[in-house]
Structure 1
């Protein structure tokens, strides 16, 4: 999870609604400061978020059906930050929802900065490393495995069994 959206939101004073798959991942989100927890495998995500008052800002690394549910549960004037498609499905954003609800959807691919703004990428990475050194951010590491268990580490990621970073040591 790195410096998770949950921790950032909680530090900024936001009421964070965390959506994750399963109790173990939700516990990580709760420990990071989430006020409300939703298991993505149970119930209607859209209705559950709306029942909590809707969302003003959505941080979405999943895409697919969860992105669409979050889009529909976002309050008028809200913003969605799309950072990935872990579901394997790239959502098609209906422009009518953006217009009617005055929503903004922003894509952010950190690695893309290598092509058009490498100096900005270098500066941001340097700042993150400094924050880590100062203890301002604490990446959540769920597994530390030796190099000879790299295949196991990759399987943890592929099968979505990790709850945070998977570190391989030499």
Structure 2
């Protein structure tokens, strides 16, 4: 079979090779799946660079989520059968950017019938992360104001849709007019282009001086610093990641005098400590998708041969919305 593999760490365009690889075989508790669609995610960029928290042995194929068709099942598998359509995480070092890959049964979930392959493939990591951030960590309530940074990205776009589905007023911060238009399509009530406007005074104006009740921050750096200037009394800033490249060093005295919370979210830890909540989240997301309240907006559907360029553009910050590779 064909797969994109990394033999040495570096920038995606430089290190990704499309080559022949051994056909995988399902072991106990595993599914062998044919890849139907695999979205680009920022962790794929970090995997190529060797800067992700998971560091698979070389050579490896990146691709951290997919929608696939079950081709065969290993011993002990009971939840899925040949022909089922599933979404979830593949098993590194053979990730989703391959014609076939392996998934542990516990990391696979039924693909929602309401979504096509590309849409379903993008419903997992980004939407699970946003759901946990908004509903479990910050307990976003209807009528509150949610500020989402990188609101046209994979996880940010999920937060915009889930915020609207929860009855919140949503402010999306993006970089550039194309991303601003995409964010409006997601349903954001106010869209701010950080390339032309300072989001802090606009958030204050939109909220009548109160500030945002919840800030969803996958960026860090200046995005975090600005958020502390427009967070509401008893507001919550949830830290998702540091795509901007700078990890903030928060002044805890500032959190004290303004009475706001700084909350971390590492979604992957729930696999270790409370896996049943991931199942509950998937059920909730599938129901929201079936009702039409959420649906990943796929901006580009590319062939498997275009993975290196697509991942590189994601790392450079020039993509808009969800980029999905469809073999």
TM-score, normalised via structure 2 length: 0.48
CA–CA distance in structure 2, aligned partners of residues 7 and 128 of structure 1 = 11
For 2:163, the equivalent position in structure 1 comes to: 9
Please report how far the alpha carbon of residue 29 of structure 1 lies from its aligned counterpart in structure 2 after TM superposition.
1.4
CA–CA distance in structure 2, aligned partners of residues 168 and 129 of structure 1 = 22
Please report how far the alpha carbon of residue 60 of structure 1 lies from its aligned counterpart in structure 2 after TM superposition.
1.1
Deviations 1:96-132 (A, max 9, x none): 1211111012111212222322333344345434544
* More divergent stretch after superposition (155-164 vs 43-52): 43-52
For 2:233, the equivalent position in structure 1 comes to: 76
The answer as to whether partners of 2:297 and 2:322 remain within 8 angstroms in 1 is yes
For 1:24, the equivalent position in structure 2 comes to: 178
Shift in CA distance, 104/34, structure 1 to aligned 2, threshold 3 Å: same
Please report how far the alpha carbon of residue 135 of structure 1 lies from its aligned counterpart in structure 2 after TM superposition.
4.1
The answer as to whether partners of 2:218 and 2:241 remain within 8 angstroms in 1 is yes
Shift in CA distance, 136/52, structure 1 to aligned 2, threshold 3 Å: closer
For 2:135, the equivalent position in structure 1 comes to: none
TM-score, normalised via structure 1 length: 0.87
Please report how far the alpha carbon of residue 69 of structure 1 lies from its aligned counterpart in structure 2 after TM superposition.
0.2
Shift in CA distance, 163/9, structure 1 to aligned 2, threshold 3 Å: same
Match of 1:98, SS?
helix
Whether 1:143 and 2:303 are equivalent positions in the alignment is: no
Match of 1:8, SS?
helix
1:1-170 aligned at under 5 Å gives the runs 1=154, 4-53=158-207, 54-129=211-286, 131-132=288-289, 135-170=292-327
Please report how far the alpha carbon of residue 31 of structure 1 lies from its aligned counterpart in structure 2 after TM superposition.
1.6
RMSD: 2.1
Residue correspondences, number: 170
Q: Which has the higher helix share?
A: 1
Match of 1:72, SS?
coil
CA–CA distance in structure 2, aligned partners of residues 112 and 89 of structure 1 = 23
| Unaligned ranges ≥5, structure 1 | none
CA–CA distance in structure 1, aligned partners of residues 232 and 280 of structure 2 = 34
CA–CA distance in structure 2, aligned partners of residues 108 and 82 of structure 1 = 6
CA–CA distance in structure 1, aligned partners of residues 277 and 168 of structure 2 = 27
| Unaligned ranges ≥5, structure 2 | 1-153
